[in-house]
Structure 1
Amino acid sequence: MLKQVQQLKLQQKLSPQQIQIVKLLELPTLQFEQRVKKELEENPLLEEQDEYTNKDEQQNEEQDENPAENEEFSIDDYIEDEDEMPSYRLRANNYSSDDKYEDIPFSRGESFHEHLERQLGLRIQLSEEERKIAEFIVGNIDEDGYLRRELDAIVDDLVFAANVDVDIKTLERLLLVVQDFDPPGVGARNLQECLALQLKKIKDRTDEQDKALQIITNYFDLFTKKNYQKLIKKLEVSRDELRDIVEEITRLNPKPGSAYSQSSTQGAAYITPDFIIEMHDGELKMSLNARNVPELRVSEQYKDVLRGSKKDGKAKKDAAVFVKQKINAAKWFVDAVRQRQQTLISVMNAIMIRQEKFFIDGDEKMLKPMILKDIAEDTDLDISTISRVSNSKYVQTHFGVFPLKYFFSESMMTESGEEVSTREIKRILQDCVDGEDKRKPLTDEKLAEILQEKSYLIARRTVAKYRENLGIPIARLRKEL
């Protein structure tokens, strides 16, 4: 049964201005500079404030002091029936619907797949159909240089996608063609095959390299588990000889395509700090890095645009609507930029005050436990705002550049009841691993005992979590000859 129901409910929504502020707050310095330049290009009523615009401001202030001249102009005179005009026509969307900002393009070299396709073009002995199959194989190779897809699945894909019927033997033969490409190891289906391909491509192999190929081919499982005693017996070599053989294996590249993947993104590898903290007369001074961001203001040229418009009613109204849209957009953007600057300065000041000892000495031991909630309470801002500010932002100090996330860490109590940062515990954990005997690496249980001896009450599973956060493998994988 259908019926109409009237319901009253509260719903919270962000206004376009709030959304704009949030999006600007998330941007690091470089992207923010690009966003400002884009807005200056798109909105003719937004302009940079320099010495010339300052003179214009003085003239405008003088005109404001003379009301008789000011009465001659009013934008409302150009919009006769503003009440009848929909409000959306007086607004301008100065950001895309999906809120994505395009990066400035940069020149790059040949990509990994372009490099493989170019080599395929040099294989003139391949038929047209074989070339088509080989191109399909190249297209399935990932950025690391591996062919992760099963050959049976590729056979089915060729039938349905390219209308090419091929058997497994032909596909394996063409895969060998691709595996002969540069860099060595490309087209491998697993790590074992990748390392073996690289060793096989060496023309004049040494005895160590021959033994290394023998390990990869026949004793790969023992090698990955670092069972060196069994390898010594199998190969009938000494410990020193095995060490040289293992060194030959460690020189190989487990991801042959990674060099090309990194080169294609190296243009974005530079870090521009968002904040600068310096010492002046024994005191810390913080400043916002806005060297390439101009001061913005709403242009007064819209008056000339309206005065120069045609005298008929429709053209005059269209010009007024356009100016009204751009004025609103310019004002919103200027206000959003100012609020962004105030928020960034407020958050960074709160972080600098809490971590003052670290910013003076640069000693990691001086870092205090600090979470997003602490800064939110200090600044009277929401935790989500603190998270947006700390994400992808960097601060420059006299002893290095650090991401803002570096200063946030959880706390842990010592035996004496003192509250310390978990970052300090991780540093001690890293020092223990760096100084261990690699022939008998420390287990998680032993690391927990060492930390407890230093008055850090920490469980083995917590040690395992911190070890994984530091990117340290388990004891068995840290073992060396």
Structure 2
Amino acid sequence: MSLSQSLQQKLLQKLSPQQIQLMKLLQVPTANLEERIKEELEENPALEVTDEERDDYDEAEEFDTQEEEYEMDGSEDEYENIDISDYVSDSDDDVADYKLRDDNYPDADDKKTLPFKIESSFHDILVDQLGLLSLDEKNYKIAEQVVGSLDDDGYLRRELSSMVDDLAFRQNVDASEEEIEAVIHKIQQFDPPGICARNLQECLLLQLKRQLAGGKEVSLAIQVLDKYFEEFTKKHYEKIQRGLNLNDDQLRDVINAIIKLNPKPGGNLGEINKAESYVVPDFFILNSGGKLELSLNAKNAPDLRISEGYRDMLREYDKGAKKDKRQKEAVMFIKQKIDSAKWFIDMIKQRQHTLLSTMNAIMEYQREFFLTGDETNLKPMILKDIAEVTGLDISTVSRVANSKFVQTEFGTYRLKFFFSESLSTESGEEVSTREVKKILSDLIEGEDKRKPLSDERLTELLQEKGYNIARRTVAKYREQLNIPVARLRKEL
């Protein structure tokens, strides 16, 4: 086969750097937007924050984001085609603050500082307690290895043989499984009770053994968990009563003693991810006399501008008579940075417009819910519905809805909460599956716990209310609500 050249015409569709930057910014929640802007300010000296907001961004942490680079070929024609007037025109200058100030009204305080929790982590708390033990150097290293092997919920799920290997290869400590087990027993006396357990049964038993002075029900609870743990988890209470000769009152006291225990003793100590500790809403919806008012979090609309110092550099270049190649290269660098800054400012404004238009469409679509707060008033809504109203692409709506929150007078909700599929009623009306789940949850909450409703009975009750639903669908919704089957909901 011989090589040959041919002329071909192709139609390609590519995303511009601005579009890529906008898509990245849309996905960034308000809690991380400051960090993203902080990174852009560090990379681009031509971009700056107004004096009123500069202090807010000085404290932001680094946030890794891949940034687009702008390339120039360095040709002489490119140097000669620079129009300085595009960058130093008076129309781009900022309007003086005194011209915009109204002395009759006080300045609105829109600055909302993000709270940060100052605390020790779960593992730090345990390491501090190690100092209370009288351990030699070898056992202290073993104890550090054990504490470091604990999960965030306080369980030790690593095999002893694996810890022996870790100590030998990483710490150069020759330890046996018996020595590690002895250290584990000492750590299990730490606070909170139940720490360093290998499984749920051991965790609950460790907590009960610290309450032995609590009465007879505690000793009975220890026997139940020690001999009938599987039966207890499956609520086979009759077998437990026969085996330990317990009456209903004694079994009820045992159950009350066990359900007070903490199945995850490490779950309440420290936070690994502080971003999950606080929810920073992206939108605020206020009900003003039956009229819904939508506003964007001030952190979503930072006041950015082009650096005046860089404009002054271009003015000096324009006035200068001698323009050698070094000066032209400097102008090209300044032009590049100013273009990048303008693009970023435009992307922030476009992000703000896209967020507002999308949230406004959601607010109008779910108006009844935002007025009443009743989940049964939620209408079935999918991404395509909002995309048709706003004229945006479905992927853009998805990026906006992802990891964004709205604060209402009824609470703070994730935007994804308002999206749900539809279900038909007997009258042919389409209702949201969220409404059906709410009714299902209310039915289970109001049931007689001594005789909980089965999935079949729940299906009949929903059908009586006019919802065409199958039993398997009820079971699916129940599992999505993290509600166990009827037998596991039974109480004495």
Query: Which TM-score band (shorter chain)?
Result: 0.7 to 0.9
Deviation at 1:469, TM superposition (A): 1.4
> What corresponds to 2:132 in structure 1?
122
Structure 2 equivalent of residue 227 of structure 1: 236
For 2:177 and 2:307, locate their aligned partners in 1 and report how far apart those are by CA, in whole Å.
Answer: 69
- Contact kept in structure 1, 2:119 and 2:270, CA below 8 Å: no
Letter in 2 for 1:246: I
2:145 is the counterpart of 1:136: yes
SS at match of 1:301: helix
Distance change in 2, residues 1:460/1:266 (3 Å): same
Moved more, 438-447 or 367-376: 438-447
Name the CA distance, whole Å, in 2 between partners of 1:123 and 1:2.
Answer: 81
1:438 maps onto 2:446 in alignment: no
C-alpha distance 175-277 of structure 1, shift in aligned 2 (>3 A): closer
Q: Which amino acid in the other structure matches residue 343 of structure 2?
A: W
The answer (yes or no) to whether the contact 2:403–2:414 under 8 Å persists in 1 is yes
1:208 counterpart = 2:204: no
Q: Equivalents in 2 of 1:105, 1:272: separation in Å?
A: 9
Q: Is 2:162 the partner of 1:165?
A: no
Instruction: Name 1:294's counterpart in structure 2.
Output: 302
Q: Match for 1:123: what amino acid?
A: L
Greater mean alpha carbon deviation, residues 126-135 or residues 204-213: 126-135
Of 378, 382, 394, 2:389 maps to: 378
Question: 2:478 & 2:5 partners in 1: Cα distance?
Answer: 58
Task: Call closer, same or farther: CA 1:176–1:281 in 2, change over 3 Å.
Answer: closer
* 8 Å Cα contact 2:30-2:299 kept in structure 1: no
Q: Quick check: 1:23 aligned with 2:24?
A: yes
Match of 2:347 among 336, 339, 345: 336
SS of 2:186 mapped into structure 1: helix
Deviation at 1:279, TM superposition (A): 3.8
Moved more, 207-216 or 166-175: 166-175
Give the alignment partner of residue 459 of structure 1, picking from 459, 463, 470.
Answer: 470
**Greater Cα offset, 33-42 or 354-363:** 33-42
Tell me which residue corresponds to 2:250. 241
Per-residue CA shift, 1:431-463, capped at 9, x if unaligned? 111011111211222211221222212112211
Pick from 237, 262, 271: which aligns with 2:279? 271
Q: CA deviation at 1:82?
A: 5.0
1:292 deviates by 7.1
- Deviation at residue 338 of structure 1 after TM alignment: 1.4
Contact 1:158 / 1:165 at 8 angstroms: preserved in 2?
A: yes
* Amino acid in structure 1 at the alignment position of 2:359: M
Q: Report how far residue 2 of structure 1 moved.
A: 11
2:181 matched to 1:186?
Answer: no
Instruction: After TM superposition, give the deviation of residue 168 of structure 1 in Å.
Output: 2.3
Which is further off, 373-382 or 201-210? 201-210
- 3-state SS of paired residue (1:449): helix
Q: Which runs of 5+ in 1 are unaligned?
A: 52-78, 86-103
Question: Please, which moves more after superposition, 331-340 or 203-212?
Answer: 203-212
| 2-structure distance, mates of 1:14, 1:47 | 27
Q: Is contact 1:212-1:248 (8 Å) kept?
A: yes
Aligned pairs for 1:33-72 (under 5 A) are 33-40=34-41, 42-48=43-49
Letter in 1 for 2:44: N
Q: Which amino acid in structure 2 is aligned with residue 22 of structure 1?
A: M
Q: Which amino acid aligns with 1:381?
A: L
Query: How many percent of aligned residue pairs carry the same amino acid?
Result: 57
Q: Secondary structure of 2:476's match?
A: helix
Partner of 1:346: 357
Structure 2 CA distance for aligned equivalents of residues 169 and 280 of structure 1: 69
Match of 2:415? 404
| Range with greater deviation from structure 2 (138-147 or 278-287) | 278-287
* SS, match of residue 211 in structure 1: helix
Partner of 2:57: none
Provide the rounded CA distance (Å) in 2 between the counterparts of 1:245 and 1:12: 68
* Pairwise CA distance, 1:193: 0.5
Q: Which residue type is aligned with residue 446 of structure 1?
A: R
Tell me how far 1:409 sits from its aligned partner.
0.9
RMSD: 3.1
Residue 399 of structure 2 corresponds to: 388
1:353-372 matches, within 5 Å, as 353-372=364-383
Corresponding residue pairs, total = 436
Distance (Å, rounded) in 1 between the aligned partners of 2:253 and 2:218:
9
Match of 2:120 in 1: 110
Query: Is the CA contact 2:79–2:332 (under 8 Å) kept in the aligned structure 1?
Result: no
Work out whether 1:155 is the aligned partner of 2:192. no
**Alignment gaps of 5+ in structure 2:** 53-73, 81-113
**Contact map agreement 2:33 2:300 (CA 8 A) in 1:** no
Residue aligned with 1:277, SS = strand
Against the structure 1 CA distance between its residues 105 and 314, is the aligned structure 2 distance closer, same or farther, given a 3 Å change threshold? farther
Aligned partner of 2:69 in structure 1 is none
- Corresponding letter in the other structure for 2:210: K
The question of 1:305 aligning with 2:305 is answered: no
Deviation track 1:247-270 (CA, whole Å, cap 9, x = no partner) reads 1111111111101144x5567533
Distance apart, 1:212 and its partner CA: 1.0
Deviation digits for residues 223-254 of structure 1 (CA, Å, limit 9, x no counterpart): 11111122222222321221111111111111
Q: Retained in 1: the 8 A contact 2:301–2:348?
A: no
The whole-number CA distance in structure 2 between the counterparts of 1:417 and 1:318 is 70
C-alpha contact 2:193 2:207 (8 A) present in aligned 1: yes
Could you report, residue by residue, the CA deviation over 1:98-133 in whole angstroms, capped at 9, with x for unpaired residues? xxxxxx994532211112222223322x23222222
Which secondary structure does the structure 1 equivalent of 2:420 belong to? coil
1:333-356 Cα offsets, whole Å, 9 max, x none, are 011011111111221222122222
Residues 281, 404 of structure 2: 8 Å contact kept: yes
Would you say the 8 A contact 2:212–2:219 is kept in 1?
A: no
Partner Cα separation in structure 2 for residue 398 and residue 107 of structure 1: 25
Aligned counterpart for 1:413 among listed residues 421, 424, 443: 424
Aligned equivalents of 1:240, 1:219: Cα separation in 2? 18
Matching residue's letter, 1:438 = K
- What CA distance in whole angstroms lies between the structure 2 residues aligned with 1:127 and 1:299? 61
Q: Which residue of 1 aligns with 2:489?
A: 478
The answer for the alignment partner of 1:97 in structure 2 is none
Aligned equivalents of 2:172, 2:422: Cα separation in 1: 61
Report the equivalent of 1:81.
76
Residues 156 and 196, structure 2, Cα contact 8 Å, conserved in 1: yes
Flag the 1:140–1:3 CA change in 2: closer, same or farther, 3 A: farther
CA contact (8 A) 1:17 1:332 kept: yes
Structure 1 length normalisation: TM-score?
A: 0.82
